[in-house]
């Protein structure tokens, strides 16, 4: 394994130089809490991907199997869970695409494109991708 990535780690320094930080340090400030929530959106991403595979599996196994999956989707607690998952996924999209201007440097004719342009391009991409998904699912 590689060494610790966090600069606060003091593996190679005397232990008494380590400042103890409480485990729930991120509850003390709104921006820290938002950071942790942003990182935890990955749980919703993993969950949605896995359950989509199960949905496709049921779909391929035949109408009865798919009907059973659909009736599971219609259970009240499951709908409630999925409304929460949807909210978290939208938060993932918004925060992820908002980071694009920081992560991506685009140059046009030797000049760096302003962050607002990179941001709008990514949000436009989100719009196009969502429209494609809606068209695919609803046009059938």
Partner 1 sequence: MRRSREPFLWALFSGGGMLAALFLPAAILILWVAAPLGWVDLTVYDTFAGLVRHPAARLALFGFVSLALFHWAHRFRYTLYDGLQLYHLNDLIATLTYGSAAVLSLAAGVILIIL
Q: Which residues bind partner 1 (CB under 8 A)?
A: 1-6, 9, 11, 21, 23, 25-26, 36, 39-40, 42-43, 45-46, 48-50, 52-53, 55-57, 59-60, 62-63, 66, 70, 73-74, 78-79, 82-83, 85-86, 89-90, 92-93, 96-97, 125-126, 129-131, 133-134, 137-138, 140
Half-sphere exposure of 14 (CA within 13 A, CB side): 2
For residues 40 and 22, what is the distance between their CA atoms, to the nearest angstrom?
A: 19
Length of the chain: 140
Least distance in Å: CB of 104 to partner 1?
Answer: 11
The torsion defined by the Cα of 127, 129, 132 and 138, in degrees rounded to 10, comes to -80
For residues 119 and 133, what is the distance between their CA atoms, to the nearest angstrom?
A: 21
Least distance in Å: CB of 111 to partner 1?
Answer: 25
- Between residues 3 and 110, which has the closer beta carbon with respect to partner 1? 3
């Amino acid at each position: 394994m590689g060494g610790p990535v966090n600069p606060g780690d003091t593996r190679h320094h005397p232990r008494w130089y380590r400042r103890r930080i409480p485990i729930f340090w991120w509850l003390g400030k709104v921006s820290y809490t938002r950071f942790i929530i942003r990182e935890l959106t990955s749980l919703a991403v993993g969950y949605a991907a896995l359950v989509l595979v199960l949905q496709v599996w049921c779909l391929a196994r035949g109408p009865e199997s798919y009907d059973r999956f659909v009736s599971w989707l219609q259970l009240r607690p499951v709908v409630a869970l999925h409304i929460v998952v949807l909210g978290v996924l939208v938060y993932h999209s918004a925060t992820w695409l908002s980071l694009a201007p920081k992560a991506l440097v685009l140059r046009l004719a030797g000049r760096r494109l302003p962050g607002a342009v990179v941001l709008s391009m990514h949000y436009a991409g989100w719009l196009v991708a969502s429209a494609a998904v809606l068209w695919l699912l609803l046009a059938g």
